[in-house]
Amino acid sequence: MHEIKESFDVKLAEDEKYYVPDEKYRRTSWIGDYQRRYDEFLADPDAFWNDIAEELDWVRHWDRVLEWNYPYAKWFVNARLNITSNCLDRHVASDRRNKAALIWRGEDGTERVYTYQKLLTEVIHFANGLKKVGVSKGDRVCIYMPMVPEQAIAMLACARIGAVHSVVFAGFGETALNMRITDAQAKIVITADISIRRGKAIPLITIVKEAILNAPSVEHLVILRRRREPPVEMRPDFELDFYELMRNGGADCPPEAMDAEDPLFMLYTSGSTGTPKGVVHTCGGYMVGTYYTSKYVFDLKENDIYWCTADPGWITGHSYIVYGPLIVGATVFISEMTLDYPDPGIWWRLIEEQRINIFYTAPTAIRTFMKLGEAWPEKYDLSSLRIIGSVGEPLNPEAFEWYYHVIGKDRCPIVDTWWQTETGMQMITTMVGEPMRPGFVGKGIPGVVADVVDKDGASVPLGSGGFLVIRTPWPAMFRTIYNNDERYRQYWETIPGVYTAGDLAVKGTDGYIMVIGRSDDIIIISGHNIGTAEVESALVSHQAVAEAAAIGKPDPLKGNSIKAFVILRVGNAPSEKLKKDLMYHVRMTIGPIAVPQEIAFVEKLPKTRSGKIMRRVLKAQEMGVDPGDISTLEE
C-alpha cells in the first residue's frame, strides 16, 4: 500500500499560539474534562465502550465488547441490533416523534421537512418496496443519487432490511460507476433522472444506463423522477418508479435483527494508486462509533440545528449527515446548494435563515470563501453558530484563523476532525472546550490511541515527525476491503501491530498532532523530505494566495525540485515580481530547501470531487505521462 520512506526531520516553526475557548464550553459540554475522560478510557477501554453502547437500543446484548484477533476485530460479540431502530424508532417512541429529523433545501428554494415519524414511515414503505422486488439481507444495492432526502431514505431502507448499500457520489462518470456496480455485484441501482447544479439539470439517468450495460448483476433500476414535464420514460419491468415502489410497500416492516458484525454498507475510496477499494463497515461498531462522536465531538444538544455540507456520497455524509446525527436524535439540515450559486453568500444566508448552531465543512470550501472575501459572510447574521467543524484536508493556520475570526467571530470552537473512510468515525480532534492550536488537529479522542511513529513503529519524540498510526482497535473501524482482504491486512502490516493511516504527521511538543498530508505526497529534495502540504501551507499564508498545490519534479542534481501551482486571491495579478515574493515568502516560512523552483499561476486545480487536490494529475501533466485512474477527478 503506502510505501514507507525513512522517517524525516521537520523544522517546525513551533509558535505557541493557542485559542482558549470560553470556560462555559467545557462546563456545559458532553465531554466535560477531556483528560479525565481519556484516562477513564485508558484504564478500561471495554468498560468505556460498553457504557456508550448501553445508551442505545439492542435486540440482543453482547457477550463481550471486543474480540481482537489482530488484525481482525469483532465488536459487541453476538449482539443483535438494527441501526435504523436507533436512528428512527427509538425517537418515534419518545418525545422526539414530531421533531424535525431532516430539513432539506433544494436548489430552486423548495424546502421539505421530515419529522422523525415521517422519515420512519417513508423508510418503512421504501424498505418494503425493495423487499417486493427481491432485495433481501446481504444483497448489495447501489445508490447513485443527488443530494435529496430520498438518498437518505434509500440508505436507511437498505439498513432496515439488512441490504448492504454502496453509495456512489452522483458526480462520478459511467466508468467509475460501472466499476463500483460490478465489483459489488449490485442487484439494484437506485438513482434519479436528474441532478440539479447551478440551476442546470444534469441527466443522471443516461450515465446510469451506460454504466449498467456491462453489469449483468443489476436486476432493476429504481428511478426517482424529479422532472415532471415530460417525466422520463420507464422500461417496463426493469425500471421502477421510486414513489410507486414506496406506495406499493406496506406500512409494516420490522427492522431486521442484524448481527453486530454483519455488513451495514460498503463505500469505495480511491487509493492514490490502483483501483478504488470497497471499504466495508459493519452494523454494531459503526453505530456506536458514529453515535459517540456525533454526540461528543459536535456536542449536539436537543435543540441544535446541525448542518454538514458534505454529500452523503462520501463517508462524511454517511457518518455525519445520515447515521450519527440521527442516532443522536438531532435536526439535520441538508442543502443541495453549491457554495457560490446563486451567489457566494448562499451558505451564510442559509445559516442565518435556518439558525444553524453547528456547521461542518471542508478546508477547500473555507479557502474558496477566503478568496471570495469577507464581505459575503459579513452580510449575514451568523450569531446562531456555536461550534464549527472541518474535515477532509489539513486546515492550514491561515484558513483556521479566517474560519475562527470571520465565521466563528472569535467565539466558536473549531473542531478540526481527522479521520478516514476506513476509520468510519472521527478519530483525532481538539474536543470542545480544549485549547485550540491553529495547524494542529489535536489529540486522539477518548477511545482512540493515535500516535506518530517511525518506520519501525517506535513513537517519535515530541516535536518530531513520522507516520500517523492508530494503536488499538476502535468500534467503527472497517472490517475488510470487499473481495480483497489482502488490501485490508496491508493497512495493519505496513508497520507491524498498528493501523497505518497513510498520512504524515508531526507530534508537537505539547502532544498535539499536525497532519501534513498523505505519505505519498512527499517530495524528497537533496535527501530532505518536504510534505507538499507544508509548501502549500506556506504559500497560502501569503496574503495574495488563495490556494496552492505543490509537486515534485525529477531533478538531476537534487533528486527533485518543487513546482507550485497557485491560485491568487481576487485583486491580485500574476507577475514575475509576485513569483519572487512568493519564493522569498516560502524561504522565510519553511527554509531554502522548500522554495519552489517554479511557480505557475492558475485559475483552477484538479481536485477530487470531495475536494482533495489531485497532485498526481498535476504531476502527470507536468511530466507528459498518463495520469492513471482519474475517475475521482472533479470535472
The Cα 18–Cα 588 span in angstroms is 22
Shortest Å distance, C-beta 123 to ligand 6R9: 25
HSE of 104, CA atoms in CB hemisphere, 13 A:
22
Binding positions for ligand 6R9, 483-512, rule CB under 6 A: 501-503
Nearer residue to ligand 6R9 within complex by CB, 191 or 396: 396
Shortest Å distance, C-beta 309 to ligand 6R9: 13
Nearer residue to ligand 6R9 within complex by CB, 222 or 391: 391
Burial class (CB in 10 A: 0-12, 13-18, 19+), 335: buried
Q: What residue type is 212 in one-letter code? A: I
Place of cell 537534487: 558
Nearer residue to ligand 6R9 within complex by CB, 283 or 476: 476
CB-based contact 443:512 (threshold 8 Å) = yes
Q: How many residues bind ligand 6R9 (CB under 6 A)?
A: 21
Those residues whose C-beta lies under 8 Å from the C-beta of residue 17, and which sit 6 or more positions away, are 437, 438
Contact pattern from residue 122 through residue 161 relative to ligand 6R9, giving x for each residue in contact according to CB under 6 A and a dash for the rest: ----------------------------------------
285: left (phi over 0), alpha (psi -120 to 50) or beta: alpha
Shortest Å distance, C-beta 468 to ligand 6R9: 8
Contact pattern from residue 432 through residue 471 relative to ligand 6R9, giving x for each residue in contact according to CB under 6 A and a dash for the rest: ---------x------------------------------
Shortest Å distance, C-beta 609 to ligand 6R9: 10
Element (H, E) at 623: helix 615-623
Main-chain phi, psi angles of 601, to 5 degrees: -90, 125
Listed ranges 22-30, 419-427, 541-549, 573-581: which one lies at the site for ligand 6R9 (CB under 6 A): 419-427
Q: In whole angstroms, how far apart are CA 148 and each of 100, 110, 152, 224, 275?
A: 16, 11, 8, 10, 28
Shortest Å distance, C-beta 408 to ligand 6R9: 16
Q: In whole angstroms, how far apart are CA 428 and each of 107, 171, 415, 417, 443?
A: 34, 29, 10, 6, 5
Listed ranges 210-218, 418-426, 569-577, 581-589: which one lies at the site for ligand 6R9 (CB under 6 A): 418-426
| Residue 421 binds ligand 6R9, judged by CB under 6 A | yes
Nearer residue to ligand 6R9 within complex by CB, 177 or 501: 501
Query: What residues form DSSP beta bridges with 443?
Result: 429
Binding positions for ligand 6R9, 31-70, rule CB under 6 A: none
Identify the residue among 139, 416, 434, 536 touching ligand 6R9 (CB under 6 A): 416
Q: In whole angstroms, how far apart are CA 314 and each of 266, 329, 392, 460, 634?
A: 11, 21, 10, 32, 14
The Cα 432–Cα 542 span in angstroms is 29
Nearer residue to ligand 6R9 within complex by CB, 300 or 476: 476
CB-based contact 613:577 (threshold 8 Å) = no
Contact pattern from residue 515 through residue 554 relative to ligand 6R9, giving x for each residue in contact according to CB under 6 A and a dash for the rest: x--x------------------------------------
Place of cell 516535536: 463
Identify the residue among 391, 436, 525, 545 touching ligand 6R9 (CB under 6 A): 391
Binding positions for ligand 6R9, 254-313, rule CB under 6 A: 269
Question: Which of 499, 502, 540 minimizes the C-alpha distance to 402?
Answer: 540
The sheet carrying 545-555 orders its strands as 545-555, 559-568, 598-601
Centre a 10 Å sphere on the Cβ of residue 284 and count the other Cβ atoms it contains.
28
Which residue is closest to ligand 6R9 by CB? 421
Identify the residue among 420, 430, 560, 632 touching ligand 6R9 (CB under 6 A): 420
Nearer residue to ligand 6R9 within complex by CB, 122 or 416: 416
Nearer residue to ligand 6R9 within complex by CB, 192 or 395: 395
Q: Which residues bind ligand 6R9 (CB under 6 A)?
A: 269, 315-316, 390-394, 416-421, 441, 501-503, 515, 518, 610
